[in-house]
Chains A and B, each alone.
Chain A
Amino acid sequence: MNGPLLAVSGLSKHYRRAGKMVAAADDVAFDIQPGQTLALAGPSGSGKSTIARLVLRLIEPDAGNIRFEDADFLALGGAALRARRARLQMVFQDPLAAFNPRATVARVLDDPLRIHGIAERSERPRRIAALLERVGLPTELAQRAIHEISGGQRQRVAIARAIATKPSLIVLDEAVSALDVSVRGKILELLLDLQREEGIAYLFISHDLGVVRAIAHRVAILDGGRIAESGDARAVIDVPRSAIGKALVAAAPKLPAPARTAS
C-alpha cells in the first residue's frame, strides 16, 4: 500500500437538537499513515467521538469519503465490510460497558478469533494465552470473569481483543481517561510497544493534551465539529495557533516546574 492507511475527506454529520441542526462533524479531513498515531483533541461536544464512530461505521455520515487500506470504506457492505472490520478495531473508555461483565476473559478473546475465522477451535486456547501474554497479563486470567478483574486489567483485555484480528488501525476513544495515573502510564507504554512491533496505527481520541503530546505523531484539534488546526503533535501543542488550541493549552493542569525529576 502506498499513501495513507486512512484518508478522510469532507466528512460531515449533523444532528437535530432542540429543533436546530447541529454539526457534530463539519467537512472534516485528515490522513493517518501506517504505523502512526493521529490524536483528535478538543473540548466536550467538539465532535471527537462522532468522528470516531463515523470512521468505525457505527454511524453513517451525511457526506464525505473514507478510504481505508485503499478501499472505499463507505461503499463496503456485507461480507466485504465484515472482513475489513477485522483490520479496524476499537477500544473505548469503559471496557466494563463494552463487555458482558459475566463473560470470562477467555470468552471475550475467543469471540473475535471465532467470528473472523482466525483460529480453529482447538487452536484458540493457545491463541488466547498468547494474546494475554502479549498485553502483559498472566494466562491464568483467562478463566476469570470480566467483573472480577481490575480496571487496568480490563483495558488490557480490551486491547488484547482489539489486536486479536491483526488490525492495521485501532480507534482508541478516551481509552486511558478513566485509569489511575500509575496504570495509565503502563497502558500507554503497551500501546507504543504494539505500535512499534506490529506497525499498528492509532486514531487516539482524548481531551488530555498532556497524553496526546506524549504519544501522538500528529494531532488535529477540533472545535464545533471542525478541525481548528492540525500538525505535528508537539509543534501544535507547544505553540498552538487556533483560539481553541490556546484555550486547551492554558487550561491543562500544570505542576510547578521544579517538581519534575530528571529521568
Chain B
Amino acid sequence: MNPLLSIRDLTVRYDSRHDKAPALRSASLDVSVGERLAIIGESGSGKSTLALAIAGLLPRPARIQGSIDWFLPLDGKAPLGGRDIGFVFQDPSGSLDPVMSIGKQIGEVIRTHLGLGRRAARARAAELIERVRLPDPRAVLNAYPHQLSGGQRQRVAIAAAIAAGPKLLIADEATSALDTIVQAEIVTLIRQLVAEDGMTLIFISHDIALAAELAQRVAVFRHGELVEVGETADIVTKPRTAYTRSLLDAHLGLDAAPLLDLTPPVPA
C-alpha cells in the first residue's frame, strides 16, 4: 500500500513546563492511502491531540517536536485543512455557523477550495446533501443548524468536510454524542463515503468495539503514548498488551456475562 503520511517521534506539549507530561510522546505511525485506521484510547490518551496535529489544527501554544511527512502532490507545501483534509468533530454545532443556512455553509467550502461560482457551488451543495442522505435536500439547503436534529447536523458537518474532495477524512469522536441507532447510521454513511471517494479515514474513538467494526487497523493510545498498532482482527483477538486486553474486557457487549448476581435473595 502507498503511504499517505508518516509520523515520526511526534511529541506535543500544551504546557511549556517540562515537568508536566506531554499530551503526546514520541508517537510514530504510518497511514496508507485508502485505509481505514482507528485511533482509540481513554481520556488523556492523546488521541485527539494526534488528530489535531495531523490536521494542522493544534492551538497556538502547543509545542510540537518530531515530524509528519505527507506523500501528496503538494509541491512541498503543507496539506490544507478543508481541501486536503476533512475534519468531523464530536459536536457539529461547534463547526457550523448558527446564523448561516446549511446551503451557504457547504457552498462556502466549495467556493473557497474549488473556486466555483455561487450557482455551481449551490448545485454541488445540493448533491452533497443528497449524498449524506438527508431527507428533502432543497429544504435542508435553506435550513439553519438549530432546525436539524443532532444526527442531521452531523450529516451536514460530514457533507461540509468532504465538500472539497479531501484525500483524508478525520472523524474525532464524531458519533459519541449520538444515540446508538443514529451512531450506527453515521458509521455506515462514513464507510460508504470513504469507499466511494477513495478517501483515507482516521476514526478517533473511545469505543473499541465501534472502532473494530469500522477500521482495518487499530492504534491504541494511553497517557500520550502509542501502546500498540495492528490489524483489527489481531488487536481484538490477540492483543499484545495488557492494556488493550483490559479495554476489550471492559467492553460490555450484548453477549457479556452479567455483572448482576441474581442468586442471592434481594433484601426486603
For the complex, is A226 an interface residue (Cβ under 8 Å from B)?
Answer: no
A34 near B268 (CB under 8 angstroms)?
yes
- Count A-side interface residues using an 8 Å CB cutoff: 48
Q: A43-B182, A251-B180, A254-B209 are in contact. Are A215 and B253 (CB under 8 A)?
A: no
For the complex, is A256 an interface residue (Cβ under 8 Å from B)?
Answer: yes
B181 near A213 (CB under 8 angstroms)?
no
B249 near A263 (CB under 8 angstroms)?
yes
Q: Which residues of B from 246 to 268 have beta carbons under 8 Å from A?
A: 246-262, 264, 266-268
| Distance to closest chain A CB from B92 (angstroms) | 14
B237: chain A residues within 8 A (beta carbon): 256, 258-259
For the complex, is B212 an interface residue (Cβ under 8 Å from A)?
Answer: yes
Q: Which of B43, B183, B266 contacts A34 (CB 8 A)?
A: B266
For the complex, is B210 an interface residue (Cβ under 8 Å from A)?
Answer: yes
For the complex, is A247 an interface residue (Cβ under 8 Å from B)?
Answer: yes
A251 near B181 (CB under 8 angstroms)?
yes
B180 near A237 (CB under 8 angstroms)?
no
Which of A57-65, A156-164, A178-186 forms part of the interface with chain B?
A178-186
B259 near A214 (CB under 8 angstroms)?
yes
A181 near B260 (CB under 8 angstroms)?
no
For the complex, is B245 an interface residue (Cβ under 8 Å from A)?
Answer: yes
Q: A182-B246, A199-B268 are in contact. Are A256 and B236 (CB under 8 A)?
A: yes
Q: How far is the CA of A86 from the CA of B264 in the complex (A)?
A: 27
Q: Nearest chain-B residue to A176 (Cβ)?
A: B252
For the complex, is A122 an interface residue (Cβ under 8 Å from B)?
Answer: no
| Distance to closest chain B CB from A262 (angstroms) | 9
For the complex, is B69 an interface residue (Cβ under 8 Å from A)?
Answer: no
A44 near B257 (CB under 8 angstroms)?
no
Q: How far is the CA of A261 from the CA of B250 in the complex (A)?
A: 11
Q: A35-B266, A35-B267 are in contact. Are A181 and B42 (CB under 8 A)?
A: yes
Q: Nearest chain-B residue to A255 (Cβ)?
A: B209
For the complex, is B233 an interface residue (Cβ under 8 Å from A)?
Answer: yes
A253 near B259 (CB under 8 angstroms)?
no
Q: Nearest chain-B residue to A183 (Cβ)?
A: B42
A214 near B258 (CB under 8 angstroms)?
yes
A181 near B182 (CB under 8 angstroms)?
no
A251 near B233 (CB under 8 angstroms)?
no
Interface string of B181-199 (1 = CB under 8 A from A): 1111000000000000000
For the complex, is B208 an interface residue (Cβ under 8 Å from A)?
Answer: yes
For the complex, is B104 an interface residue (Cβ under 8 Å from A)?
Answer: no
A189 near B267 (CB under 8 angstroms)?
no
For the complex, is B33 an interface residue (Cβ under 8 Å from A)?
Answer: no
Q: Which of B184, B206, B248, B256 contacts A214 (CB 8 A)?
A: B256
Q: A196-B264, A256-B236 are in contact. Are A247 and B181 (CB under 8 A)?
A: yes
A196: chain B residues within 8 A (beta carbon): 261, 264, 267
Q: Nearest chain-A residue to B248 (Cβ)?
A: A259
B233: chain A residues within 8 A (beta carbon): 256
| A interface residue numbers (CB < 8 A to B) | 33-37, 43-45, 151, 180-182, 184-185, 188-189, 192, 196, 199, 207-211, 213-217, 234, 237-238, 247-261, 263
What 6 pairs across the A-B complex have the smallest Cβ distances? Answer: A251-B184, A253-B209, A210-B252, A180-B42, A199-B267, A181-B250
